[in-house]
Amino acid sequence: MLSIENLSKRFGSVSEHPLFQAVSLRLAPGESVAIMGESGVGKSTLLNCLAGLEPVDGGRIRLRDTELTALNEDDFARLRRRDFGFVFQSFHLLPHLTLAQNVALPLWLLDLDDRTAGERARAMLERVGLGARADDWPRHLSGGEMQRVAIARALVHEPALVLCDEPTGNLDPERATGVLELLFETIHSAGAIGLLVTHSPTAATHADRVLRLTRDGLVAA
Amino acid sequence: MNAALRHVFLASLWRRPLATSLSLLAIALGVALGLTVQLIHSAALDEFGRGIRLLSGTADLQIVGSQAGLDDALYPLLARHPDIATASPVLEIEARLPGRDETLRIFGIDLFRVAQVTPSLLPMTDVQDGTPTERIDRLGPLQPDALFLSPAAAARLALAAGDRLTVQIGVREQALRIGGSVPGAGVGQILAVMDIGAAQQVFDRIGRLTRIDLRLAPGIERGEAQRRLADLLPPGVAILTPDDAESEVTGLSRAYRVNLTMLAAIALLTGGFLVFSAQLLAVVRRRQEFALLRALGLDRASLRRGLLAEGAVLGLIGGLIGVTLAYLLTALAFRLIGGDLGAGFFRGIAPTLRFEPLLTLVYLTLGVLAGLGGAWLPAREAARMIPARGLRAGDEAEVYRAQPRWGAALLCLILAALLCLPPPLAGVSVGGYLAVLLVLIGAILILPGATLWAMRRLGAPRALTLRLARARLAAAPGQAVVAGAGVVASVALAVSMAIMVDSFRSSVDGWLTRMLPADLYLRASAATASGYLDPETVARIAALPGVIDVYPVRFASLRLDPMRESIALIARPVRTGNGLPLVAGSLQPTGSDDAHPAWISEALADRLRLGVGDPLALPLADRLQPFRVAGIWRDYARQQGAVVIELDDYRALTNDWLTNDLGLFLADGTAPETLMTAIRATLGEQTSEMILPGELRAMILAVFDRTFLVTYLMEAVAVLIGLFGIGTTFAALAASRRKEFGILRHLGLRRRQIGTLLSVEAALTAAVGMGVGLLAGGAIALVLIEVVNRQSFRWSMDLQLPVVALLVFGLSLILLAALAARLAGAQAMRQDAVLAVREDW
Ligand SMILES: Nc1ncnc2c1ncn2[C@@H]1O[C@H](COP(=O)(O)OP(=O)(O)O)[C@@H](O)[C@H]1O
Ligand SMILES: [Mg+2]
């Protein structure tokens, strides 16, 4: 269970109007939501706040029984390791690691040994349809394939929450659909909470619910 | 973390092979150099200490004199003293062996006494087939011409019982018969033993001893006996414990070891800075990667640990290579030159290579510390990054916006200045080395501020690319830090070494000219050995056709009271000769009291805290003679200290008319070679050594240059890394600034102009780095000359700026930087460049 209450964030001085405020949201495991909004409204910032990569100015975030906004930086990092998965618009695969190693990265951070991590990463790659290319390098992949690897990386450690920031922003429409189908299917079958941020209405339809981010909170789209 | 550590952090070292191997090379060189010096020295000291223990046997105390020895009338006095159970007289001679390169230590002993104090020196006669059989009858006399060789000496000289060995006394030769061996001497000691009376006779030292070993009577306490007996001794004669004797040599050779260790320290420092600049670059380039890792849950501390581990592994591998190299070098050195390191403190021993766990560990640790130290700041920088920003493309710009840190820089420089003040720690100029490090750090901290300042000075240039470059650097001075840190560090170290070596070299050159005024020098042997020139020989040489004047020098040694080691006494014409390289006082003392003038070396002035005009008593011919310090001179040869007095004074006071070195002034048109032939005809082929001052100077300067060759190599590596840093940074910049360049091209800039822009930026960066590096280098040179050298060796030198060399060096570095940036940029701007750019090129 993820619950966000009255979250607000501002850049710069207190006198300025916050980027957003009064953001509230409750999500149960297995549920997914798409958050839309024009560019610059603060969607990425909201995700960063949820992940503890950006400090918040007010409000509370709870994941299961943990009050995230009360965690210090290191504890948050440890929590991210276990409970968070990320999919970025620009993939962020490490060019000098093979696909299997890229997918194994979250497992390495959880101190799994090389072999176990490798096996789980290969199984995950199999699920996203890239099992045969586990030892290939990212630079040999198309954009859609890279994003599949990123999805495998986001879910390999069975996180409670998967945050996706414009995962199809760099892909053409056909590939985008394939990637989104895969993404939501894996999130649902893992019983994780999915949070998708996008400015594309087509992308948003894949989620259970669609919301719109405004300066004064989330509204139904 | 383990798998991540391996695949993400340590593996990154593999992905930049060039940077990694250069850093490894520097660390390995530093460790190898330092450890080799220590290994050779500790093996030599060890063997030397064994020798001393062997030679002092069960002696409780030793009476030692100077090189001239002590009067043997002292011996019966001591032998009868109630505190003393046994007194064993020894006459130690360093015999010149005509026709051979080496000398042989011969101990003249009293067989009866030596058996009680130093039984390991007991000789054995050998039967004809060469195997030792019976010990000589204890009470029977040794045959006067019989010489007994230690196993190492027999091996080295390839002689067996019954063979003959020719020794030289003055310019005379005499053959001695090998009577047998000294089996107790052990494998490492090259020495010989003969009867003391015979030795006095053969070597013309009638009535002289060099040492008396004492065993105290039962129940007598050593300290008290030492005090009571000291009152019986004439001035210049000391009573020491065997331990004192050992530490005397340790002290003597320490400064020499420190010299080489200093080079090693600078090499290690360079290594640390190479790691620093390579890691700084790598960290900037891996910014997005670290941001991703942080997003995936890597905490700051683990990120920092990962990066420090990279540095530590570099240091460890570099250290291991260095250690291996050091043992190979040491083994090689023992084969080629013995344990001497070329300074002559350890003649006559044959040390063996042994594994030294503690020393090895210390140097390995130093290597790791250099790697860790270099990785420290970059790791901190990386851990400070905000991951949400680092994930965005082009975020490197954040790093390049670094603020000037004038305060921190100033603090470093003030600290450095303060560190120059305290005296050395156990003879090592710790403060000086730390000051060098702080100046370097300060220089790098100044860099962003200096870039801003320099760009403002540049005004508003008209050339378009220059204007763009200036704007960029002024907006992103941090770029100068990332690209220029390597340049500053390498330039500073290279410049400081260049200035110091140049100053040192020209000072040594000037010193040699002063010390070697004659056209040709003649000697019968080194001053410590048994060859010398007697007045009659000197007269014969002076009478040879073509010789206008002779310039005799007599070397002796003295023991001055508060000091452990003996110092050198040099008696030579001063006022009528070519003078001395004075740093204070004058050659023509004005004071007209009955004290004779003496000129002391800087080391001696330092150690005895003496100034011009101070009185000084020198023990000559068993009496304290009054002298007055007339001047202080610079001596690069005798770190324990030396005093020069007029030859006439010396002769009048001691009645010693012998000469060690004879300088010859030749008539115009006389070729030195002709005269050398004439001298050989007069003195015999093998009993003399001659040298032309020009040749000697060339030889000494060649040794000098060889010593500093390693340094030049280090500096070359450092400069390479600096250039390489500029190349990689601008390659990365070109890749991340593609958008900016795209816009510029839309605005009408040609592709070539973009290349020029990169070159100009690089040249400006290098120029600022060069400027800061020059200043820092000058400061470091001052620290090296005024603090490190003064504290380690107690000698001064005249500051000399190799202006032309520095200018050429600076300009070519700036040009090379521009070229490197252009090449790197061109490669990075190619279509598939973004993917192709690895972490280095
Ligand atoms: N570190 C920052 N400092 C100041 N402003 C920022 C920072 N990060 C983002 N912003 C501003 O916050 C706004 C929202 O950015 P972002 O969350 O990336 O928008 P979106 O993802 O909805 O397009 C933008 O106007 C951006 O300029
Ligand atoms: Mg966004």
Residue-wise pLDDT tens digits, A82-96: 999 999 988 889 888
Tell me what pLDDT residue B838 has: 35
Residue B593 in tokens: 């009291």
The verdict on a CB contact (< 8 Å) between A92 and B8 is no
In angstroms, the CA B158 to CA B152 distance is 10
- What residue ranges do the domains of chain A occupy? 2-220
Q: Which residue of B has its CA nearest to A81?
A: B297
In angstroms, the CA B821 to CA B823 distance is 6
- With a cut of 0.85, is the ipTM above it? yes
Ramachandran region of residue B735, left (φ > 0), alpha (ψ -120 to 50) or beta?
Answer: alpha
Q: Which residue of A has its CA nearest to B833?
A: A139
| Sign (positive or negative) of CA dihedral B167, B169, B171, B174 | negative
CA distance B820 to chain A (A): 25
Nearest to B604 by CA among B576, B567, B577: B567
Nearest to B322 by CA among B281, B273, B260, B368: B368
CA distance B301 to chain A (A): 8
Residue to substitute from B8, B10, B296, interface A, most A β-carbons within 10 A: B296
Nearest to B784 by CA among B772, B800, B766: B800
Tell me what pLDDT residue B394 has: 58
The verdict on a CB contact (< 8 Å) between A77 and B299 is yes
Q: Along chain B (841 residues), what's the average pLDDT of each consecutive run of 10 residues?
A: 81 84 84 83 74 76 85 89 91 90 89 85 67 46 79 89 90 89 83 92 91 89 88 86 71 63 72 79 83 91 93 95 92 69 53 84 93 90 83 66 82 94 82 90 89 85 83 81 79 86 87 85 86 92 91 89 79 82 85 83 90 91 89 86 93 92 90 90 85 84 74 72 74 72 78 84 89 93 89 84 88 88 74 38 35
Between the two ends of chain B, the Cα-to-Cα distance in Å is 29
- Ligand 2 centroid distance, CA of A109 (Å): 26
**Three-class SS state of B60:** coil
| Ligand 1 mutation target, pool A7, A9, A45, most atoms within 8 A of CB | A45
CA distance B823 to chain A (A): 23
DSSP category for residue B427 = T
Between the two ends of chain A, the Cα-to-Cα distance in Å is 22
Residue to substitute from B288, B299, B302, interface A, most A β-carbons within 10 A: B299
The one-letter code for the residue type at B636 is: Y
In angstroms, the CA B483 to CA B721 distance is 11
- Ligand 1 centroid distance, CA of A205 (Å): 25
For B160-236, list the strands marked E by DSSP. Answer: 164-169, 172-181, 191-195, 208-209, 211-216
Tell me what pLDDT residue B256 has: 60
Residue A153 has pLDDT above 80, yes or no: yes
| Ligand 1 mutation target, pool A9, A44, A90, most atoms within 8 A of CB | A44
Tell me what pLDDT residue A136 has: 94
- Ligand 2 centroid distance, CA of A39 (Å): 6
Tell me what pLDDT residue A150 has: 94
In angstroms, the CA B183 to CA B162 distance is 17
Determine the atom of ligand 1 nearest the C-alpha atom of A37: 22
DSSP category for residue B787 = I
DSSP result, B302-330: HHHHHHHHHHHHHHHHHHHHHHHHHHHHH
The one-letter code for the residue type at B100 is: R
Residue B248 in tokens: 């005397």
Give the ligand whose atoms come closest to the C-alpha of residue A88. Answer: 2
In angstroms, the CA A183 to CA A167 distance is 9
pTM here is: 0.75
Strand B547-558 relative to strand B567-572: parallel, antiparallel, unpaired?
Answer: antiparallel
- Ligand 1 centroid distance, CA of A103 (Å): 29
DSSP category for residue B119 = G
In angstroms, the CA B318 to CA B313 distance is 8
Tell me what pLDDT residue B255 has: 58
Which residues on chain B are in Cβ contact (under 8 Å) with A74?
A: 299-301
Does residue B242 contact residue B53 with C-beta atoms inside 8 Å? yes
The one-letter code for the residue type at A95 is: P
The verdict on a CB contact (< 8 Å) between A53 and B387 is yes
Fold topology of A2-220: Rossmann fold (3.40.50)
Tell me what pLDDT residue B841 has: 35
Residue to substitute from A19, A45, A48, A53, interface B, most B β-carbons within 10 A: A53
Which residues on chain A are in Cβ contact (under 8 Å) with B2?
A: 108, 111, 113-114
In angstroms, the CA B481 to CA B281 distance is 10
Place of tokens 């495998």: A152
Size of interface A-B (CB pairs under 8 A): 79
**Three-class SS state of B669:** coil
Number of helices and strands in chain B (H, E): 28, 23
Residue B112 in tokens: 């009866």
* pLDDT tens readout for residues B95-152: 999 888 888 999 999 888 888 888 888 888 765 444 444 544 443 456 777 899 999 8
Which residues on chain B place their C-beta less than 8 Å from a C-beta of chain A? 1-4, 6-8, 11-12, 15, 288-289, 292-301, 386-388, 391, 393, 835, 838
How many residues does the structure list for chain A?
Answer: 221
In angstroms, the CA A28 to CA B361 distance is 58
Residue A102 in tokens: 């890229």
Count CB atoms within 10 A of the CB of residue B75.
19
Tell me what pLDDT residue B646 has: 93
* pLDDT tens readout for residues A11-68: 887 778 889 999 999 999 999 999 998 888 999 999 999 999 888 999 999 998 899 9
Ligand 1 contacts (CB < 6 A) are A 11, 19, 37, 39-45; B 389
SS (H, E, C) B486-554: HHHHHHHHHHHHHHHHHHHHHHHHHHHHHHCCCCEEEECCCCCCCCCECHHHHHHHHCCCCEEEEEEEE
Which residues on chain A are in Cβ contact (under 8 Å) with B288?
A: 92
